[in-house]
Amino acid sequence: MSFENFPTGNIPEQKPAPKKRNYNYKGILLAVLIAALAGTWAYLVWDKSKSNEQKQQLSMQLTTSDSSKNDLQRELNDAVMSLDMLKSTNARADSLLRTKDKDIQDLKTRVQKIINDKNATGSQLAEARRLIKQLKGNIETYTAEIEKLKNDNIQLTEEKRVVTVERDVVRKNFDSAKTVIKEKESIIDIGSTLHASNLNVMGVKEKNSGKEKETATAKRVDKLKISFDLDENRITQSGLKEIYINIIAPDGSVIVIPDIGSAKFVTREGVEKLATKKVEVDYKQGERKQVQFELAKAQNFMPGDYKIEIYNNGFKIGEAVRSLKKGGLFS
């Protein structure tokens, strides 16, 4: 048996080896599971809360969007109503707006399309708001233009009124002047009417020798010789004057012989008369003029009164009567 040599001295005391701990893995696993389950529930609760919050935000956004759309619709309706009022209250406005109708309709259509879009975005709503603002601006411009036209129309109306008043004054003065002129012309016209004097009617018997003898016996009269003077007149202008001579037979009929120039004339009373003879006399202003006229026998002269009337300018300017008697046994 061999022996080993050990160093001398104090030999250290050896400690016992530590005992291995006996961990409870089941408990740890259970704790982990509980913690995981708690985390899951916490996440679920948080997620649901988040989802509710998002739904609430979405609901608020939809509410806000609907409110914005309602506001936009109201503003659009107000703008359209303003346009309709402009059209209905002013004919000039209606005429002006008809020329702008396409632009107005385009703006209205674009805004209404955005309002009707259920999925309209905020930027689209902002665009609709901008378009409505543009439409309102256009309405203000149209209103200003219409007001200007109205003021221009008022000014033109006033100018027209002034011109009308001035025209009426001128017309009144002109009418007064015309009346005065017409009255003066009428006076001159009447004053220029000639006057017949020294009217003489004579029955004449023509002898075989050619000599003439005055007679008052109807069956012996071969012709009537009429003579008269046209008196001096300083108003009448020189020139040819129309003188109408009427010879009325005893039976009241006017003696008409077309071959000697019978004619019609109108009196100042507007009565149309038939004249036995129309004579044109070359009259000189301010001088006396003698006129002679003969009525040859176209048929036998009947006994009775022959009335001779002289007319000028529609007025009777002289008359005379010549009586022819029946012939006796020794006539």
Q: What average pLDDT does this structure show over 279-303?
A: 88
Instruction: Give yes or no for residue 149 having a pLDDT over 80.
Output: no
**Torsion sign across C-alpha atoms 204, 205, 207, 213:** negative
Residues of the chain with CATH 2.60.40.10: 196-324
User: CA–CA separation, 228 vs 53, rounded Å?
Assistant: 133
Q: What average pLDDT does this structure show over 159-184?
A: 84
CATH code for the structural domain at 196-324? 2.60.40.10
Residues 238, 289: contact at Cβ < 8 Å? Answer: no
Predicted local distance difference test score (pLDDT) of residue 281: 94
Which residues are registered as beta bridge partners of 279?
Answer: 243
Predicted local distance difference test score (pLDDT) of residue 231: 95
Residues 286, 219: contact at Cβ < 8 Å? Answer: no
Q: pLDDT tens, 296-330? A: 876 688 899 999 999 999 999 999 999 999 875 55
Instruction: Give yes or no for residue 267 having a pLDDT over 90.
Output: yes
